[in-house]
Amino acid sequence: MPRKTKRQQQVSELSRKKGRFTSQKSDITIIEEEIEQKKAVEEDLIVKDKNAEEWMEGEINWMEDEINEEWVEGELKEFEEVGKKLIDEVLSWDKKATSKIRAVYTGDSRTSQWRQKKKTIELEEHTKGIKKINTFFQPISENVSMSSKTPLLSQSITPNSPPLIPVDTTMDLHVRLEEINQLCLVGKSTKENRDIFTYDYIRLLSVRRFIQQLLDGKGKMVASTQIAQSMWNKGDYMARCIRKWGGHFIQTGELPVHSQGKHMKIKSLLDDEDFSEDCKAWLRQQTPETRSPYNLKMYIEEELFPKSTGNIKKDTISEKTCRNYMHLWGYRYDERKKGIYYDGHERLDVVEYRKEWLERMFMYKKRMKEFDGDMLDIVLEPKLELEEKELIQVTHDECHFYANDGRRRIWIGEEEDILRPKHLGRSIMVSAFLCSCHGLLQLSDKQLQENPHIKHKDTYVLHSVQADRY
């Protein structure tokens, strides 16, 4: 603490009275008055004590004189006779008083005996399926010298004695050890290790070491306690958990599911099937522009909650909760851009049809010509059977051209500002057919004369998307 200043020391020396400072002179006068009052009270007490002592001495002397004068021998005899009558007539001795005294409770009453008997019966029922302690230890072989003075743990067992772990269980342990070694492998990339949690990985390492120590001949208790102390820095509880994990893995080949955080404490609206189905149907009916968590919130509060019954007892819902529900239902908030169009190509019926189509196309390919060489100038004729005809593959392709198509990157001057229309404009679709042996499909001279409105032999099909509605 900092040293007090001179002013603080002076203030601390002043005495306080009822929350204010007083002068030293007034304090001295008050103290003198209190001392005088105390002296006066003490003198009064001394005088009263002397008077009381004198009065007591006088009373005692008077009582002794009165007893000596009035109590004579006859009166003393009468007093003794009255005392004997009180003892003989009023106070009577009861010989059976000991039997009427309440005995001390020793816990051997009829109800206590019945309650203890009931407890023993319940314990016997609970312990019917429990093995006795002598079943967990194997008997020592006869070849062991029991007469030796060495302790039991140091006696050596003969080669004919049974092993600590049966052969079948050791085979199972070796198999489980190989399985858990594969599970403990960790990849180099983070994508491979994304689904591996630290707690589960440490559990796998603990179970692997537990199985290794069992194969080395250690007991379950010793192995589990060593692993709990070395890997977890914990005691008996973690040792019990390791024994439980190891036993479950040896039996099933899997770790028990970690139950922490799996007990739901709050009921979710997603548990109600009617609620989730109504929300999904409403989202499908909306356009992508109007589909949003806020609109879903308004729909739930205005339409679903008023007509809901049963477990749903709410009036409002937050926008964040609606956003989480949309994520769980498969929606995502992303920029609208061109991408791959998925049209159910992984459905089971589509996959089956694709297999049939490929088989059919391979059958057709056997009856088609094949072209080989760098310039595809070598023609390989198909091997046809009797009454089989050659097949020719004709391909089709199309392309769109827009009025406002142009280069995205151009050279622009310093003071030049080029504005382009945002719309793509009118479009034309060009369609054509191509053959492997005849090239681009075209009309013959005769067909061109019969159709004077066609200017070119090549059969281009032109369509305007806006004009032809195609």
Query: Rounded distance, CA 323 to CA 294, Å?
Result: 8
Q: What is the pTM of this model?
A: 0.31
Phi, psi values for residue 228, rounded to 5°? -65, -35
Task: With beta carbons less than 8 A apart as the criterion, state whether 326 and 296 touch.
Answer: yes
Which residues 6+ apart lie within 8 Å of 31 measured at CB? none
Q: How many CB atoms lie within 10 A of CB 352?
A: 10
Spell out the per-residue pLDDT of the chain, length 470, in tens.
567 776 677 667 665 544 444 444 455 555 666 677 777 767 766 766 666 666 666 656 655 555 555 555 667 777 777 777 766 666 666 667 666 666 667 777 888 888 888 888 888 888 777 767 766 665 554 443 443 333 333 333 344 444 445 556 777 888 888 888 888 887 777 777 777 788 888 999 999 999 999 998 889 999 999 999 999 999 999 999 999 999 999 988 888 887 777 766 677 788 888 888 999 999 888 887 888 889 999 999 888 888 776 556 677 889 999 989 988 888 888 765 555 656 677 888 888 999 999 999 999 999 998 888 888 888 888 888 888 889 988 888 888 888 887 767 766 666 667 677 777 788 888 888 888 877 888 888 888 888 888 777 776 667 676 666 55
Both tokens of residue 399?
């392309």
Report which of 215, 255, 221, 214 is spatially closest to residue 235, judged by C-alpha positions: 221
Whose tokens are 């529900």? That residue is 325
CA angle, residues 285, 288, 289, in degrees to nearest 5: 115
